[in-house]
Homo-oligomer: A and B are copies of this chain.
Amino acid sequence: MKRIGFIGLGIMGGPMALNLVKAGFEVYGYNRSRPALDRLVRGGGKAAGSIAEATNGADAVITILPDTPDVEQVALGAGGVLENARPGLLYIDMSTIRPAVARTLAKAGGAKGVRVLDAPVSGGEQGAIEGSLSIMVGGEPDDFAAARPILEALGKTVVHVGGAGAGQTVKAANQLIVAGTIELVAEAIVLLEAARVDTEAAVRVLAGGLAGNRILERKAGGMLARQFKPGFRVELHHKDLGIAQEGARELGVVLPLTAVTTQLMASLRAQGYGSLDHTALLKLVEQLSGRDRREEGAKE
């Protein structure tokens, strides 16, 4: 396991590829835009001119791309990974996509002797840079074992959670909990502010008890200050909630709270806040409660 093709050198993929270089792998990166490739080369990686070039001769190929159709095209399309793959190649998709498509990739790979894993990540740009991502992996146990040294160069928590698609389902579950929790914290904050409670003191007590969560710990400060610089963008979380909804629909699972959260996230996006941090759900609770006036007044 020496040579890795790495496709998708964006905000997440760029630093991840560099971490693989640092860990001693020979990394052939591919990206549509040039500057990202240059950064990889400056960091010790190599630039591939095509998916084929990144795939040929590789022991493993990693993709991390924005959305389901991107992965479908890069993996399954003409000139794509599977077309160029030799039997025995390890193909790890680390994008966040629909679990059903992850299973399709596994099946299509299997037919060509390619070993496929779905391995979406959580932890954001910071985690990608620090190599401290959480990675939830679906696929065959042997393939997971084979991929482990690679994944451990990228993340701190690397867990095998089941067969093909399982990683994506856990990611979907992660995203529904995160979005719902942000909304709950937003509802709490607006209630507290409306009641003229000392919200900073309140957040401290809340974070210390059974209501405690990572959003209260890491994000409530920004929410109280109305700083919605991403972080993780509303439009991406909106996409991910769509994946969760679709997965639930296929499995016949009913998610009442997630359905409402999805509408709220969709509203943020529809109102033009797609590029804010997902904690901007607070703005929506304020709007619904008629408490966004002051701010508007202040602007005038």
Residues of A within 8 A of B (CB): 99, 122-124, 134, 136, 138, 157, 159-163, 165-166, 169-170, 172-178, 180-181, 183-185, 187-188, 190-192, 194-198, 201-202, 204-206, 208-215, 218, 242, 244, 247-249, 251-264, 266-267, 269-272, 285, 287-291
B253 contacts A194, CB within 8 Å?
yes
A201 to B169, CA, bound (A): 13
B257 contacts A205, CB within 8 Å?
no
Which partner residue on chain B sits nearest A171 by CB separation? B205
Tell me how far the C-beta of A197 lies from the nearest C-beta in chain B, rounded to whole angstroms: 4
Which partner residue on chain B sits nearest A244 by CB separation? B191
Q: Contacts A183-B257, A213-B181 hold; do A204 and B252 have CB atoms under 8 A apart?
A: no
A214 contacts B205, CB within 8 Å?
no
**Could you say which of B124, B192, B213 contacts A212, with CB atoms under 8 Å apart?**
B213
B266 contacts A211, CB within 8 Å?
no
List residues of chain B with CB within 8 A of the CB of A260: 256-257, 259-260
A178 contacts B290, CB within 8 Å?
no
Q: Contacts A165-B195, A214-B213 hold; do A202 and B173 have CB atoms under 8 A apart?
A: yes
Task: Name 12 interchain pairs, CB-CB below 8 A, sorted by A.
Answer: A134-B205, A136-B202, A161-B197, A162-B202, A166-B196, A169-B191, A173-B191, A173-B192, A174-B210, A180-B181, A190-B253, A211-B214
Q: Contacts A136-B205, A290-B267 hold; do A170 and B192 have CB atoms under 8 A apart?
A: yes
Tell me which of A138, A204, A213, A258 has the highest count of chain B C-beta atoms within 10 A of its own C-beta: A213
Closest CB pairs A-B (n = 9): A213-B213, A270-B290, A173-B188, A177-B211, A254-B288, A252-B270, A271-B290, A180-B184, A194-B251
Which partner residue on chain B sits nearest A200 by CB separation? B161
